[in-house]
Amino acid sequence: VLQSSSSLKASYEDWLLTYGLSISPFHIRWQTAVFNRHFYNWGRWKPRFLYLWFSIGMVFGIVAMFGSVILLGKTLMQTLTQMLTEAPKAQNDRMLQVVVSILSSGLYLRVVPGVNLPVSQLTYFFSAILISGVIHEVGHGVAAIREQVRFNGFGIFIFIVYPGAFVDLFTTHLQLISPVQQLRIFCAGVWHNFVLGVASFIVLLLLPAILFPFYYTGVGALVTEVAEDSPANGPRGLFVGDLVTNLQDCPVYSVEDWNTCLEDISEKSQVGYCLSAATLQQLSFPARVYRRLDGTVECCSNNSLTDICFSYSNNLDSHLYACLPARKVIEASKVCRTNMDCQKDSVPSFCVTPSLENQTRLIRVKHPPHIDMLYVGHPMHLQYTVSLSSFVPRQNFLNIDLPVVIETFCKYLISLSGALAVINAVPCFALDGQWILNSFLEATLSSLIVEKQNRELVGFLILLAGSALLAANVALGLWMVTAR
């Protein structure tokens, strides 16, 4: 609208030029020369070290270019295989797929903000993208100055909702330097992303040691958040600041233990509890027994919030049921699988097991000094609605969320910086891989293919294939997300 106005067009364009802004549909870009002095200082710092640094980066970039093609090809084949072999029901239940293929711990993930990325983690996501992009472009800029290429400026952009960065280099200087020098510049971005990912991984690995003066670990899983709709919510549930030490007879020393224990409880059959014959007779009361649709048995009133139907066996009848108060049965009871586990001092005892629906478990959660929480439901519901940390503050004034914030941000940096390294290394039009490939062909094929036009044709065909491979991965990733 402003550009179509004859009276406002000139002043609007002057305003954009003054502030280094460029605005177009879905795209805003800002460029400045404020940081040029810093870039020149970095590019002239220890020339021999920088030469070695960017030479290693050049080797990494070339290897990454070939590796990214193999990785994308493998991912494409795996996705096609899954599409052809999975039943529709299994496809609906499977983990959400990728729009952008990103490298994380050797695995490809597919991430769409607001679809399979929680809204609460969008700050981590976009911050990690921006930092990864800035480090990527700093690599290009410093390498260019090291190779005597004029540096015009640095900028930041937002495309739709995704932030990024760029550097403006003098094109004529780029064209005049040798192909090997060009490779050092073009490979510097993916090299710096790789280094950032490795550095973040080291910080994540050493985080317990780094935070040791302020937080200690190995004593349990600290509750940092309980969702409002969580089954763990309530007067006898979990609260922020509680320290979980046990799930059933499974000890919990960290968040990883919490997840492992819940998975084991989910996969294994429900454990029972030792109860003497006298106590069983005292606590039980007459109840009607009926079978549910899934074949399991219920013997308590549907209105009861404290009683659970327990099954047990004796020498006369292998299937007996009793409606018992859950807390009285579990507290001061030994966990068991069979009656043999309960034999003690010749006192007749039975292993009573909760008779629950399939996949439902009765779980005893210890979080001293509070009374144990008794949870009835699917173990994964507990896992998804309770957030925990392995770090326990040494002082009350320390924030319990800080270690989680650092840990989560490191994981996003590893993932998204790795993503930029992999994707930009692909020999594809408009990505770093295009310029890496062209310089690589010029450096290696000039003696074999004398005509430059023929070398450019070879490069064009490879770029076409690489672009098709990347586009196929993105298209199938989108399809896998929306097909559910």
Cβ atoms of 428 and 434 closer than 8 Å: yes
3-state secondary structure the chain: CCCCCCCCHHHHHHHHHHCCEEEECCEEEEEECCCHHHHHHHHCCCHHHHHHHHHHHHHHHHHHHHHHHHHHHHHHHHHHHHHHHCCHHHHHHCCCCCCCEEEECCEEEECCECCCECHHHHHHHHHHHHHHHHHHHHHHHHHHHHCCCCEEEEEEEEECCEEEEEEEECHHHHHHCCHHHHHHHHHHHHHHHHHHHHHHHHHHHHHHHHCCCCEECCCCEEEEEECCCCCCCCCCCCCCCCEECEECCEECCCHHHHHHHHHHHHHCCCCEEEEEHHHHHHHCECCCCEECCCCCEECCCCCCCCEEEEEECCCCCCCEEEEEEHHHHHCCCCEECCHHHHCECCECEEEEEECCCCCCEEEEEECCCCCCEEEEECHHHHHHHEEEECCEECCCCCCCCHHHHHHHHHHHHHHHHHHHHHHHHCCCCCCHHHHHHHHHHHHHHCCCCCCHHHHHHHHHHHHHHHHHHHHHHHHHHHHHHHCC
Query: Checking phi first, is residue 286 left (phi over 0); if not, alpha (psi -120 to 50) or beta?
Result: beta
Residue 373: exposure state from Cβ atoms within 10 A (0-12, 13-18, ≥19): buried
User: Quick one: tokens of 261?
Assistant: 């224990």
User: Quick one: tokens of 98?
Assistant: 């990728």
In the chain, the amino acid numbered 464 is L
Cβ atoms of 364 and 354 closer than 8 Å: no
Tell how far CA 109 is from the center of its chain.
8
Active site residues: 137
How big is the chain by its Cα radius of gyration, in Å?
A: 31
